[in-house]
Amino acid sequence: MSCFRLENVSYRYDKSPVLHGVDLRLEPGEILGLFGHNGAGKTTSIKLILGLMTPTRGKVSVLGGEAGDPHVSQHIGYLPENVMFYPQLTGREILNHFARLKGVPLKQVPELLEQVGLGDAMNARVKTYSKGMRQRLGLAQALLGKPKLLMLDEPTVGLDPVATADLYRLLRKLRDEGTGIVLCSHVLPGVEPYIDRAAILTDGAVKAVGDLASLRRQTNMPVTLSLEAANGIPALEKAIVAASADNGLMIRSANGRLQVDVRPPEKMALIQALLDSGEVQDLGIHQPTLEDVYVHFIGSGGLAHRGGAQ
């Protein structure tokens, strides 16, 4: 049973298309990163999965049922972007309220608050909370009742580095226990090590989806080799030119090392040839990061292009 499945989903608002032809799915025990510029359709996709809206066309199924069905919502945890709570209540009162709505035993509440690091602050009013503390309370709220599908919109906003690391460790643990997790974030380097698959949305359509390796293959972006010369730079440069057989590689020098860009299919052959030449003392390989891949797919259309409303 998939956590959710969007099949050829389109959504229009006031006749202007927000999503068109989106196919996306999430299996249990998987972390999916959902990326895109502002207005690309991330929030709309999430709202469709939550059953807050119905698609104009296409099919949305969630946890084997229909989006928005109470029996389905029971098993979904959601942390909205910029989560807000009743300021006059304490953290514990708020979590009790939401636990009752979800039909979750109240004894979970102090445990969860402890788990997100609000154990000492649970009896203070939320209006005294910092941004990071509100975010933690939001997380505790999303984790109520051990959801099978967890959707987190910018979960690390306001969290310090230690809390962020704790959060990702927690998500990994939940993933290993079979929870399907959707992670929306603009902090790409932060989420890169933790996601199993990434989906990149632009202008309401899925531009690319897959694990990082397959996305890299799709982009065909060059891998950068960082080389330290064994017998002086000119000799190394000569070896590279010889090995690359006039493939038009870009060679730069930085800090006494040479940087060489190579297309993925030619990478292994070049490395082999360089090692055989004996001119290389040290070798570093830099794969394109998630951010590089993202920029490749989104295109650098400039800020104006990405300024659409959420």
Partner 1 sequence: MNSIWTIARKELSDSLRNRWLIAIALVFAVLALGIAWFGAAASGQVGYASTPATIASLASLGIFLIPLIALLLAYDAIVGEEEGGTLLLLMTYPLSRGQLLFGKFLGHGLTLAFATLIGFGVAGVAIAVLVDNVAIGTLAAAMFRFIVSTILLGWGFIALAYMISVRVSEKPVAAGLALGIWFFFVLIFDLMLLGTLVASEGKLNPELLPWLLMLNPTDIYRLLNIVAFGDGAQLSGVLSLGADLPIGANGLWFALVLWFVIPLAGAWALFRRRRI
Residues near partner 1 (CB under 8 A) are 50-53, 70-71, 73-74, 76, 78, 80, 82-88, 97-98, 100-103, 141
Least distance between partner 1 and beta carbon 70 (Å): 4
Least distance between partner 1 and beta carbon 3 (Å): 15
C-beta closer to partner 1: residue 85 or 297 = 85
Least distance between partner 1 and beta carbon 155 (Å): 14
Beta bridge partners of 76: 149
Cα Rg, the chain, nearest whole Å: 24
Least distance between partner 1 and beta carbon 71 (Å): 7
172: left (phi over 0), alpha (psi -120 to 50) or beta: alpha
Q: What is the C-alpha separation between 135 and 156, in angstroms, rounded?
A: 8
Neighbours of 166 (CB within 10 A): 16
Scanning the structure block, which residue is given the tokens 């602050």?
121
Name the amino acid, one letter, at 216.
Answer: R
Contacts of 197 (CB under 8 A, 6+ apart): 30, 31, 32, 33, 209, 210, 211
C-beta closer to partner 1: residue 52 or 268 = 52
| Greatest distance between any 2 Cα atoms in the chain | 73
Q: Which two tokens stand for residue 309?
A: 């409303």
Least distance between partner 1 and beta carbon 289 (Å): 33
C-beta closer to partner 1: residue 97 or 267 = 97
Reference 93, options 106, 81, 76; nearest CA is 106
Least distance between partner 1 and beta carbon 142 (Å): 9
CB 88 within 8 A of CB 125: yes
Q: In what order do the strands lie in the sheet with 280-286?
A: 251-254, 257-262, 223-229, 280-286
Least distance between partner 1 and beta carbon 93 (Å): 8
C-beta closer to partner 1: residue 10 or 226 = 10
Q: How far is CA 287 from CA 70, 180, 224, 261, 293, in A?
A: 44, 27, 7, 10, 10
